Amino acid sequence: MLIQIIAAGQVAAGEAAGSHEAKFGLTAALKQGGALTWGVFLILVAMFMISLYILFAKLWEQQKIINEGKKVRAAFWNATSLKEAASKLDKDSAYRQIVDDGLRAQDQHTLLTDPVDAHDWTQMSLSRTRAAIDSKLKSGLAFLATTGSTAPFIGLFGTVIGILGALLAIGTAGQASIDTVAGPVGEALIMTAIGLAVAVPAVLAYNWLQSRNKMISENLGTFTNDVHGWMASGGAVKPSAGARVAAKPMAPAKPAPTAPIKA
């Protein structure tokens, strides 16, 4: 008998929960909110999907440059000439673009009619190439920053619209019980939660990508300076490609002889 009562209670609780989910929730909030609520929801979903696309696309682009930097440290500086070293890099890589533009600037210096120092001309060309690469790495990050700063307010706008519609419906019905107030207001708060769920990952992705871009930019700057030094010295000045030689341990210092004490 007791088991039957407990089972009947569980069935009733399940039916109540199902009816509660059907009455309240995101779907009910979208239906009751109307076109404005649907518009806010679709905007937030679009911002979230675009943020995910930018995150994975920039990670793939950054990782490609990082892997190319490992190749530079492993084999680039072992070459006897800059053209031979450039052939070891991928044609569409950022490092290859810096080397090719440097060689092109070196060849085009003889075509200048105004007297410009070859050192300054090459340095300007390399700096312009590096700035273009940095600009490409930063592309798309502005959208992440915009999403992180505006998504909570867009969700809040959806919440305001939902609460306004709920209050108007309650006023029209003439009922002010806790059931008629808490349900629609709670549904409206879902939009604020969605806005926060979109904004927080966008901010985290923006900061992470920015830190990786900073590291890549520093490595590219060092590489640009090294390439410029190689070109300016005709290959005499370039970083060492070999492994670091471990420093030999210093021998312990011998104690200085002491003079005998005279009686």
Q: Answer yes or no: is pLDDT of 7 > 50.
A: no
The answer to whether 194 and 41 are in contact (CB under 8 A) is yes
Q: What are phi and psi of 193, to 5 degrees?
A: -65, -40
Mean pLDDT on 94-112? 81
Give the CA count within 13 Å in the CB-facing half-sphere of 25.
8
* Least confident piece of the model among 54-68, 141-155, 166-180: 166-180
pLDDT the model gives residue 183: 61
Query: Is 47 within 8 Å of 198 (Cβ atoms)?
Result: yes
Give the integer Cα–Cα distance in Å for 68 and 94.
8
Which DSSP state fits 117?
A: -
- Residue 119's pLDDT is what? 72
* pLDDT mean across residues, the chain: 76
pLDDT at 232 (0 to 100): 79
Work out the pLDDT band at 12, boundaries 50, 70, 90: very low
What is the band of 231 on the pLDDT scale with cuts at 50, 70, 90?
confident
Q: What is the pTM of this model?
A: 0.73
Q: How far is CA 189 from CA 33, 108, 185, 204, 219, in A?
A: 12, 63, 6, 23, 46
Average pLDDT score over residue span 101-122: 75
Report CA 60 to chain centroid distance, whole Å.
10
What is d(CA 101, CA 82) in angstroms, rounded to the nearest whole number? 12
Q: Bigger pLDDT: 86 or 182?
A: 86
6, 8, 14, 18: CA torsion to nearest 10 = -160
Question: What is the DSSP secondary structure assignment for residue 93, as one 8-state letter?
Answer: S
Q: In the prediction, which pLDDT does 200 show?
A: 95
pLDDT band at 196 (very low <50, low <70, confident <90, very high): very high
Query: Does residue 207 carry a pLDDT above 60?
Result: yes
Low-confidence winner among 63-67, 132-136, 180-184, 213-217 (lowest mean pLDDT): 180-184
